[in-house]
Amino acid sequence: MDAGQGRMDDDTIGLADVQTPCIHEKLDVLIAMFEEKIEYDEAKDKAFNKLYEELDMFKNDFVDRRMKEVYADLLLLYDNIKSYISRDDVQAPENEVARECLEYVLEEVLEVLYRRGIERMACESDAFDPQCQRAVRMERANSPGEDGKVVKVMKDGFIKDDKVLRHQMVAVARWDGDGHERVDD
């Protein structure tokens, strides 16, 4: 049996020599496959993260644009109610209840806007400020000291998150030196 065992040992050694390179090759192939899979997963994760960021930006921009449309409609409603309240027939004493109802609705519109972070703009002085105002009409100034002063606020301005949502629409006085209106081109 020594001879048989010897052959068995020789066969086992020979078999081990033959299998070892095969196992190393298979391990190398597996390692390469794992490395490719890891690279693929990393690339997929980067692509997914980029897509998620783009989708999030689109979603936020989409919501902001749609909300600006709603805000514009609310501001139009505010302007219409305010304009209607100032009419002479609404100011008549016999329309006191109607006027009070409209004033209540106007305050409710302001409250809805306030809950959305939108507030009426308060300009600090009577001098025209292009940062928060738009001149929609020029009027004749009676003296040089009135030049550039806001004569009338035609529409209120509004801010949201410290940014101008709508400029205050105003009439501005202009002095031309003769007491006549100056027209700028």
The per-residue pLDDT for range 55-83, each reduced to its tens digit, is 888 877 888 888 989 999 999 999 999 99
Alpha-helical regions (H) of 86-123: 88-91, 96-115
> For residue 20, how many other CB atoms are within 10 A of its CB?
10
pLDDT of the residue at 60: 74
- Tell which of 55, 82, 116 closes a domain: 116
pLDDT top residue among 183 and 109: 109
In which band, very low, low, confident or very high, does the pLDDT at 22 lie, cut at 50, 70 and 90?
Answer: confident
Q: Which domain holds residue 109?
A: 1-116
Taking phi first (over 0 means left), then psi (-120 to 50 degrees means alpha), and beta for anything else, what does residue 167 get?
Answer: beta
* Residues 109, 43 share a domain: yes
97-129: pLDDT as tens digits: 999 999 999 999 999 999 999 999 987 788 999
* Residues 126, 105 share a domain: no
Q: Which amino acid is at 60?
A: N
* Residues 124, 112 share a domain: no
Please count the structural domains in the chain. 2
* Residues 165, 84 share a domain: no
* Residues 8, 88 share a domain: yes
In which band, very low, low, confident or very high, does the pLDDT at 185 lie, cut at 50, 70 and 90?
Answer: very low
CATH code where residue 136 lies: 2.30.22.10
How far is Cα 145 from Cα 118, in angstroms, rounded to an integer? 34
